[in-house]
Structures are given as C-alpha cells and as structure tokens.
Structure 1
Amino acid sequence: MPAKFDRVTVSQLLQEADPRLVAAATHAEDGMITQYLAGAPELLTKFRRATPGARALLEAAMDARRLGHPVSLPLPFLAEAAEGYLTDSEWDLLPENWLEKAFAFLTDPVKGARGALTPVRRPRGSATSPRISVPSYRLADYLEQLGRTTRHEAIPAEFWMAAARHCDGEKAEKLALSAGQHGLMEVAFILAIKAGTSRSLISSANTLANAGRLDEALPCYLRAIEIGETYLIPFVAQRLKIAGRHKEAKELLRKSNMPQLMDSLTSKANRMASQGRLDRALALYQEAADSGNRFALRIAANRLTSAGRLDEALGWYDQCGDPDSLHIAAYRLGQEGRWEEALSWYQRAAEAGNKKALLSAAQQLTTAGHLTEALTWFERAAATNRIAALRRGAHALADAGHTKQALHWYRRAYEAGDIPALGFAANYLARKGQAEEAQAWYAEATLAGDPYATSKTKAYLLEQNLSLSEYPWALLSEGRALSSAGRLDECIEFYEHAADLGLTHALIEVAQVLAANDRIDDALSWYKRAADSGAEMALRDAGLLLAAADRLKDGLTWLERAYRAGDRSALRAAANELASVGDLDEALSWYERATIAGDHEALCDASAALAHAGRLDEAQKLIERAMINGHSHVIERTAEQFLKRGRVEQAITWYRRTAMAGTSYATSIAVQELLRAGFKAEARKLHSYGWDLHGLISDAWIANAQLGEKYGVEASRFECLSSLGKLDTVGK
C-alpha cells in the first residue's frame, strides 16, 4: 500500500461505490488515503474518550467550522469559547493546567495522520515572513465533517462572546453571517464591525433597515459607500424614500450626482469602444464604476476580451469581484487553455456564491478532453448540485467510451433522485449494441416509473425484433398504457403475465389499480400474492389501504406483518393512522416501538400528535429526544400549538431553540406567528432586536460604540461609523 496516491488514482477512487473511499478521496490531503481511513476511527475514539476540557475544545472547534470560521482557529478564541461547553461541575473540577493537557492530548498524531487538532505552521519557504503572532490550530477533516453532520445543538453564549473578542477580518465576517442566521442581531452587528469589510457592513445595515432601524443602518451603508461600494447610493436613497424621507434621499443623490453621471459615462465609453478607441473608453468605464456603476467594469472586461487582451481583462473582472464576473473570467481562461488559472478563478467564483461554477469547470474540462480532471470537479459540484453533476459526469464518461464508470455514475445519479438516469444508461447501452444489458436497464427504468423509459420500451423491442410477451418489464409497460386508457380487465392480463414471468412488482401495480377503482378486497388478494412472492412493501400498502377504507383494525394487522417482514417504517405508519382517528394513547405505544426499532422520525410524529392534541408537556419531552437526533424542525409545530393555547413564553422558548439550532427562517416565523396570535409587543421586539445570547427576546439595544463595551470590543473599532451618521459626508 503506497504512502501517497497520485491524482489519477484519487480521481478513480471518487467513482467507487464505497462511500468511505469517496469521502477519503474528497477530504484526504496530499493523496494520504490510507492514513485518512486508518485515522478516522482513532479520531472518533479520541473524541468520545476525551476529558471534559479536551472535548469542549473539540466541540467549540467543530461548531466554529460548521458556522463558517476559516480553517485556522486561534488559541485564545478556542480556549474562551470552550468554557461554554462545560457544565459548572466540569469547570470547577478542571485542573489549573487543563488547557496544556488538553492540547497535548488533541495534537498527538494518529496512524500517520494529523491529530484532532494540529498547530498551524507558516508556509514552507516563508522563513523571512513575519511570524504568526497568535498560535492557531486546525481541526482534523474527519472531525469537521462529523461536526457538520451530527451537531445540531444551540451555540453557547460564551462562544459568541469569544468570537466578538478574538475574531476579526474574514473570521468575523463569516461568523457575523451565521449569527444573523441564528437571529442574534446584536452579536452579528458587533462581528460585522470587527470584520470591517463592505460585505459585512452591508449585511448588518440590511438587517437593521429591515428591522425598521434605518437611522442605525445608515452609518453602515455610508461607511460601505466610503470604502468603494458607491453602487449602494441609489439603493440607500430608495430605502430613505420608502421610509418617507424623500428630502434626505434627494440630497444623497444630489451630492453624489450619481444616476446622471453613471449613464453619461457608460454611454460615452460604449460609443468610444465601438469606434475602436478602447483605451480612452477604459478610463471612462473606470470613472463610471467609481461613480457607482459596477457593471461598467464587466463591460470593460468583456470588450478587452473581445479585443484579444485577456490578461488586461482579468484585472477588470477581478475589480468586479461578483460571482458571475469571476465565472466569466474562468471560462475565458479555459477557452485559452490556461487551465491552472481557469480552475483557480472557477474556485473563486464558487466560493463567492456562483452555484454553477464547479459544474461549468467540469464541463469545460470535459470538452477540452481533460476527463480525469473533469471528474474531480463533477464530484465537487455534486456536493451542491448533485443530480446535474452526476448525470453530466455520466454522460461525459459515456461519450468517452468508459462504460463501466459511466454506468456507475448513472446509478449514483438515480440513487440521488434522478429517475431518468436509468433510461439514459439504457439508451447508451442500446447505442453500443449491448442488447441484454440495455434490456435490464430499461426494465429497471420502467419499474422506477420513468415515463420516457416506459414509452421507449416498446419501440426498443420492436427495433430488436423481439416479442413483448417474453419480457416482463415490456408487459408492465403495456399494462400501464391500458390502465391509463381505462381498459382495466385487459391491463390486468398484462400485469399477471408479467408476474408469471417473475416480475413481482406487477402484482403490486395490479393491486394499486384495483384499489384506485374501489375494488378493495380484490386489491388485497393481489397484495397478498405480492407479499407471498417476497415484496415486503405490499404488506404496508395493504395496511394503509384498509386504514383509508375505515378498516383500521384489519389495517393494523397488515402493518404489523409488514414490520415483522422487515419494514421498520410500518410501525410509524400504524401509529399515524391511530393518531388520525383520535386513539392517541394507543398510537404512542406504536410510536415508541418504532423509535426502539431505530425509526427516529417516529419521535417527531409523536410529538406533533401530542402537541396537536394539546398535551404539550408530554410533547416537550419527546422533542428533547428528537433534537438529540438532529430533528430540530419538529419544534416549530409544537411552538404553534403553545401559541394557540396562549402559552406565549413556552412558544417563544421553542422558536428560540429552532433559531439557535441554526434554522435561518425560524426568527421570522416566530414573528409572524406571534403577530397572528395577537402578541404584537413581543413580535415587534423580536423583529427589531432579535434574540439575546441566552435565547430570550432581546432587550432594546442601539448599534453604536457603547454596545462594544458589553463584548469587550475597543471603541476605536466604531470610529469609522461615528462620523458617518449624516448624509453630508457623501460626495466629499
């Protein structure tokens, strides 16, 4: 086994069926696949067996990364944030040197790979660069992924306080965004000021303005304009107009002279460029951009590209900085075959928020014949655009003649929810003349319900001079067509013939057709045949059919049989049917059985049923259990029931917990529901000030320097805003 794998081998591992190999190929650095696979269990064991202090550091690091903090985690931030993850008893019992002991334990390498935390070193070859003044650590990739998938707990107040004190720049900007998503308006504002970037200032200003606090938002908007975001001027003017402050809006536009200036400069530049005077036009495009028309930069970049001056154009695309401009630059570089640069720009575009960048990179690489590299980018694109990336990756492999790999990608696309992928695979095999394999994929596509495959089936068999009667999936397709035409008796003959040839699913479809025509007992006999032939889902479907026909007792018998045959969800289905007819106590016993069997969604359904019945205290207990398994969405339904019964404090508590778990829309829903229930004062307060760090509706606060004292942020951080509260600074 090699110590490192080369790039080609890593790309091949991305196509494996084993998710562990795919994860290793995606996350292991420097091709160290073996070390990643060997180290993962050790890291998990270390996390589970860590002392309270070490575990708290890891939990703080995991939460920081899932909330957007960059890779490098400063020691002062980690140490202070970790205190929020300890109980009072654990904190009191920590030895004086707990931090040193914890880091010694966590930084110890495992199986030739990084430890749970690794000190961040200066880059190689940078010995003359200034040394890193604050020690920082990197969380192991495996633990980072574990945190993203398993941690759903509320973030402790100490974490946010530590972030406000120790994070700035990109760190503060990323965490400010997360704080806003958690409804923590106050700490989001503090972090935005610490970041000092135009993006963070604009985000904070938008939040304040949307909360009806335009006077406090204006300094942030004006500061962003002062540092170059002049395109905001008409937007801020519009905000003022909406607030009825027309005189101030007019004054802002007058001082900036922006609309007329932008239009005239851009028009003049376009005329010059069309006349072949591009260099003179560029100066006007820049002037228009400086006046607020950022799109002028892209126009200039596009004109330079068309003139064959791509290197100059890149500087203009870079000035634009928006995701689409970065995407265009990447594509232009790819057209020129400058792949290393192109991929770097594609990555920047993706990080800036262009959702198509990764997929575009993969497709352009494919077109250029760089399939191995393209597959890596298809794989990365699949993380956010799964179906499109997997299907197009499969097409690329198919076009290149890599049959085995193409079929594997089509299969992955289907498993991700792309039903037509099976038909695409069948068509590909048919074109290659692999008739037997094509038939198998057409059969599966037909069973999956792909209407295109269903219509293609008959045509394909005719092309191959094959008889429909010999192929069960073709008979199934014909039966469906007859059923759609209302020819029930004829369609049953085709379904039965298909079943006689071994296609058990045909029995289920007959039962469904009969049930749709209110022939319940006939349907049950076919469900029984299907179950006897090994189709476990038939038992569950039969049970639900009987329940819908007001024969719940019989339905429960079938659902019990379905569970005993291996269908774990059948217990929850039975519980839901019992709850729907008001037999909640009996339903709870079935919900509990489902939970014990490993169906954790049963807790969500049970808590919702209890809340709907007004048994809110019991519902709360089940929600606590559900949240341990990451099901925070159930809280919202319970909170609504609290409001309906006038229990406002409890409702607010549960809405807050949803927000603290990171559900971005939870705060706005809480505001809407409070208003609907008649609690206007609480709704207005939450809308204007958000939640505090302890999960209560925040008291009123003012977005100014005095707020910084609460978080230990020096007043100098706010100086950039103090002189910008008035519009008379604009245009000077």
Structure 2
Amino acid sequence: MTTRDKNAPETGPEGALAALRRRLDGARAVRRLNQTQLARIAGLGRTTVNQALNPNASPPTKDTVSALALALRLDPSPLLDLLATATGNGDRDGQDCVVGRPIGDWDPLDLEVHPAAHAPSTTAGDAPCLAGALPGYVRRPHDQALARLVADATAGRSRMAVLVGSSSTGKTRACWEAVQPLARTGWRLWHPFDPTRAEAVLTDLKHVGPRTVVWLNEAQHYLGAGGGLGERVAAALATLLADPVRGPVLVLGTLWPAYADTYTAMARPGQEDAHPQVRALLGDRRISVPDRFDPAAIGAAQALADAGDRQLAGALERAADGCLTQDLAGGPELVHRYRTAPPPARAILQVAMDARRLGTGLHLPLAFLETAAEDYLTDTEYDALDDNWLEQALADLGRTVHGNLAPLRRIRPRRTPGAPASPPAQPGPGYRLADYLEQHGRTERRMQCPPASFWHAAWEHLDDHEDLGRLAEAALHRYRLQWAFLLHQRSACYRDLGTACVSEFVVAQLTGAAAQAVATWAADEGETWAMLQLARESWRGNNLQTAEAYARRAADAGDPDGLYYLGLIREDAGDRQGAKELICQAADHGHEQALLLLADAFLAEGNTANEMTAVREAAEQGSLLGLGRFLKLLREGGDEEQVQQLGWQVAVACGLPGMLLYAGMRREAGDMDAYDGLVHRTAGQPDPATLAQIAEQIQHRGDKTAAEGLALRAAAAGEAQAWGTLVELRLAAGDVAGAEKFARKAAAAGDTLPLLLVAEAHEEAGNHAEAEAFAQEADTAGDAYALLSLADFRMNAGDPAGAEDLALQAGSHGNTEALLFAAKLREEADDINEAEKYARQAADAGAFSDPSFSDVRHGTWIPDQVAAHWPYGLDADGTPSTAWHLQS
C-alpha cells in the first residue's frame, strides 16, 4: 500500500483537494474550533462544513471555501486556486459549475421572507422572541398545491410555480416551507440577484444543476425586466424546465396580482405583444394565495397560539378580518416608521397610542389629535412646526407598509341602515391607529401618563360619553383628580366602576370644601350616591333637616336607600311611626337592610310568620344573611320536605354562595352527601370550572375532605385553578411536600400563584432559602408578582436594600404595586423625596385602578407622608395639584 507524502507537491486534482482540506482543517485546529462552532461563525450548516473537510466527500463549492476562509482568517485566493485544480477547472472564477448552496444553509430572511411581528412579553418571566423568529406555520389550500409540485420534483420531474397574491399574504413563506422536504434530501437553492436579478439569471442559469430550487421572489424583477431581458429570462427558464438532462429542478416565484395580470394579458389587435414568452411560461403555473385566512386556517392558527405561539396569538387578537400574514409582516415596519417619524408625526402617533390604551374608541377625531399633540413636542420642536405641519404628518402616517398597513388611517364611516329620522350630523374627519402600533404603545408607554394637552383635548373635542367616562376613570387611576372629575362631568356621569362612579371616588380623595363642592354638584346633577353621602354626613353632624332633604331627594329619584335613610332619620327625630312606614316602603322595594330591620321587629313581636316572610324576601334579593335566617326558621319548623324544596328554591336566588350555604346546613344536619348533591343539582354534569369554584367555596366553609375531592376531580378534568385549592388544603394539613407537588402541577397548567403560596408557607416557617427558591420558580414561570413576593421575603429577612432592588425590578416590568412597596420602604427610611418619586411613577402607570378594596379611598395605598403632599391629587405633569375650583 502506498502512503502519500504529506510534503509532496500539491499537484493534480487529488493532491490539490487534499491540500485544500489540510489547510482548512489545520486553521480550524489552530483556532480551537470544532466543526459546529466553525459552521456557526461561517454562517454554514454543520453538514456542509463536515463534507468540506471530509476526505471521502465531493469537493466543496466556491461559496463554501470562501465562507470558511473568511471565518478562519485565511486568504481565500490560494484556497480557491486549489479548488479550481481539484475540480479540473484552471479558471478559478468560472470553476463552480453548479450554482446555489444547500437549502439548509439558507436563512429564510435572506430569501426575503418578511421578518414577523415581535410578540411582546406578557409577563416578566416570558422569554423574549428572538429577532427574526418566524411564527408557526399554518397550511392552506395553496400549500397543498405546492406540496404536489414538490412531490413531482422529488420524483424526478422539473416543475415551476408562481404564487400570486397581494402584498404580505404569505407567498414567500409558503415557498420556503414547501422546499423543506427537499432540504432533507440534499437539494440546493439558488437565489440570483447580482448584479441585477435578470442579469444574474441570464448569466448563470446554464450552471443550474439537477436537484436545484431556482428562487425568483418578486418575479417582476426577472420577468418584467426592461430592454427585452424579461422575455429572455422567460425563454431561458422554459428551456431549463424542458431539459431532462439538467433536471429535476423546481422554479418558485412570487408576484402581485397586478403584475400577473399585465404579463398574461393578450395584446390587442395592432398592439405590440410585450410579454409572449412570459405569458407562455406562467400559463397554468400560477397558484393563487388569498388575502385572508379562512375559518379552517384561523382555527389552525388559534391552536398554535393556544400552544404558546405568542406571535400568532397577537396577530389573531389584532387582525379581526383574518389578515394575519399582513399583520405579522407589516408590524416591524410600522414600529420602524414610528421610531423614525418626524417629531410632529411621532407626536400624533403617541396621542393615538395613549388614547387607545386609556380606553377611547377606535376612531379618533382630527381636532382631538391636533390639540393633544402640543405637549408631546419639545419647545424646539413646537417652535419649528410649519403652518401645514398637520397635513404633512397625516400624509406621512397614511403611507402604507407591507400588507397595505398604515400607521394611521383616515376612516370612512358607513351609512346606518334604514331611513334617517333627521338629517345626520356631519362629524369631522376621524382616524384609526394601526392595531399593531396600538399594542406596541400599550407596552412601550404603559408607565407614561399623558401630558396636559391630552386631557385638555379630550375635554374640548371628545363627545362620546363612553370615551369621556373611560378617560375619567383613567385619570382617576393616575391620581389626576381634577381631570377625573371634569371629564366625568362631561361624560354625563357615565358609570363603569361597579357600585361606584368616578366622581364618588374623587370625593373620597378630597376633604373639606372641595369634597363638599363635588358632592353638591353631583347631587344637583341627579347622582343619588351624592345625595345619600350628603344625607349621611348631615345626619352624623346631627343636621337632621338637611339630612332628610337629601335623603328625600334620593328617594324621589327612585333609590330605595333614600327611603331607608329617611326611616333612620325619622327614628332619630322621634317619629317612630313615620320611621316604620318609610322602612316598610324601602322593604317593599326589596331593600335588604330594610327587610332585615322589619324581620328584627317581627322577631321582637314574636311574629314568626312575618319574620319568615321578611327574611325570605331579603334572601330572594341576594342577602346571604337573610337566607341563613330563613333556613334556620325552616329547620326549626321541622318540616323536612319544606327544608329540601323551599329552602333550595330560595337558596338558588342567592347564586352559588346561597346554594353552598344550603348544602352546608344540610351537611350539619347529617346529610353527608350534601355537597355531591349540590354539584349535580347546580350543573348536572358540571364543567371543571364549576367544580373548582364549588371546591374553593367548600374549603372556605371548613369542609376540607369534600373540598379536596371536588378539587381533585376539577384538576383531573383540566381546571388549572383547582390545583391552587389543593395546595391550600395540603398546606392547611401540614403536608408541605404534597403542596409543593400540586403547586408545580398548577404552574405546568398555567397557574403560578400556588408556587407563591408554597413560598409564603416556607417563609413563615423560617425556611428562607426554600421560600426564595419557590418564588424564583414562579418568576421563571411568568408570575408578575413573584419579584414582589421575593422583595417581601428579603424585607422579613432584614435586607431592606435587597427588598427595594427587587421591588424596583418588578416595577420596571410594570408592577405598580411593587413601586408603591418601594415608596413605603423609602418613607420608612425617612427619604420622602424618593418615596414620592416611586409613588408618582406608580400613579403615572395607573396604580389606583382596582376599586375592589373595602375602603373607597384610593389614597390609603399611598404612603401617609406622600398622601399629605397630594391633598388635591396630581397635575398632568406629576406635580401636586393646588386647591382647584370645580367647574359646573
């Protein structure tokens, strides 16, 4: 056997190829790179690198050698000379007889697949989407047509298809997905584009070898090239497709419909036929791509979104018309346009973003946008505005990007069906912000409070009561009390805060004359809550005449509370008969407290029948106290049939809490199957959510065994929140290991709160390391409150600095409660300036948006000394308001 001398001259194809590989592999070893690392640096596939260095493989391509030389910091010229010798072609520049490179070596973005819209993290623990990451792919009918062509190509038959569809409908992505089966069998892909696309095809099409995809994205650049080049390209492609020696090949292209129509239109008599070759080539090779996803495709996209694809989830939320691909393709360019927009256009977009995130409708009046934009500009930017700045900004924002999307579009209201009762009003022009920019603004500007010009513009130019009411709420959430009141006044007291309205909350923040003035205005405007508040305050001040006047006004306005308070006031005035009549009137209107007062009176008289009637009516109004008394009276009556039939009937009127109260009473009476009976009586075959809700209520009522059984059934049926009930039950039983197991199951099902429950239990037991570990698990799983829990643990461990750092970290993720936590820490450290800064940041982000706490006063959330600095709320710029005079 002859052994080759490593020092022999690098002559002949075999010696040149061996020398080439020796030089490349030696340089790799010197740089201490393995093949995977080298592939990543060179931008090649690992298989490509392995084959280039493998002595038993075919020679690498010129592109591969050049990429490896660049990655290894070698001069490519001598390496390419060796490759030319190895392949028997002394002309290195023309040696590469096969164009393209393996499909797996291509990045889809380099083939002009549009980068998809970024999916913002919904919680602090979400992993960010990588730049350029593509969403999951949804196959549609045109994909099936492509798949048939790919199957033909795999079987050895040359094929061509041009996907025809509007901008950003998914044509290029469909081609990319279609060729993936070919990548697994070693096919190459050639993307001709240098020096021009048409010239590249005409120059190198002769080098296309078998099993090659010819990539003609935006095929108008090839088939529509001027000077006759397009016709020559079409003819050359037709020749390639008909040549059995060079096949199989697959030619894929994309076109907009307008181009396809132009190229395939027959010339009129006497008119020059500009595209006969292109028309013949396209023929029946066109595949239509629809603008919108059909219901089946929407369902498939939703399944991917449900499985965790946040990009598709965002597109489904935004693109209600089914134009998902347009949204995904156009989103990044919309954000680029926003970030690079001239100051006036950017200001208009920020106004629109703020308006939408604070609750206005889709259509924004032009006058509002123009007026609001003022404070979004610096003094220099504002002074530099041209006289026609608004027209220029709107024209700029109306230009479309991929997918026919524009940052801001003028909307055209549709006619209302039916004959109008009167001539319609002529509203000014309205504009709609792109959905993707709306979502982007909710993330980017979530910690921002709009400036004063925004609130003034809303006051002056918005007329929709719902829009004004929601902006009033938004102002209240940001502690801008004056604007909350003024906008609520303009909204005709639009209500959307449950049992209270904006003005009632504003009054709760104020004291003295300001509070009195707001309440008086609201009462004069017909707000019964204000009448009753003034009645209560006057009553407490022993001003019975004024109290009675306000209570009477509330009663006359139809509020039974007015009758009830009138009765109490008359009682204090010594008019017992008048008081009883008023209480009876309130009871006739179903007033719960009045009915219970009457029941007390009947009990005192020994009138059990009337007492039962009163408490039953109270229960039927939803009073659990009334229901409890009614069931007790039924049971004392000893009629079991009445208890089971009438008791259940009345309990149903109180909803699930009432039914649970009934079941608990039955359980106490010895009916051990009462809760199982409740489950079937409420829902027949109950859904998992109902089971979990019943289990939670039973747990709070103390029946741990029944609660755990139902919770296990709910969890097994897929209800994530049932695991939380099981965690609480295991912790209550001292079974921490069991609680940990259930908490992790809950987190896997999407509910991270049980992890924090376990963390809290460990903290209370002094197991600080375990507590932090479980809180960190919750943070990793995406729990927005995990960092705040960790901060609390650090505080308990005597580390206030660490606690503050964690709270501020949570605050940077949008957790306003954490910012208030940090503010209280600063107040305790006597650093009022920092405390006020953090509290202001929380207010700017809408910290006071939860009216569900027992005390209506939002200020109880603010550190005491900070609240003292803000007696009248904050101005738009975040400075404390002075005593403002209320407008009527």
TM-score, length basis structure 1: 0.46
Higher helix share: 1
Greater RCO (CA < 8 Å, at least 6 residues apart): 1
TM-score (normalizing by structure 2): 0.39
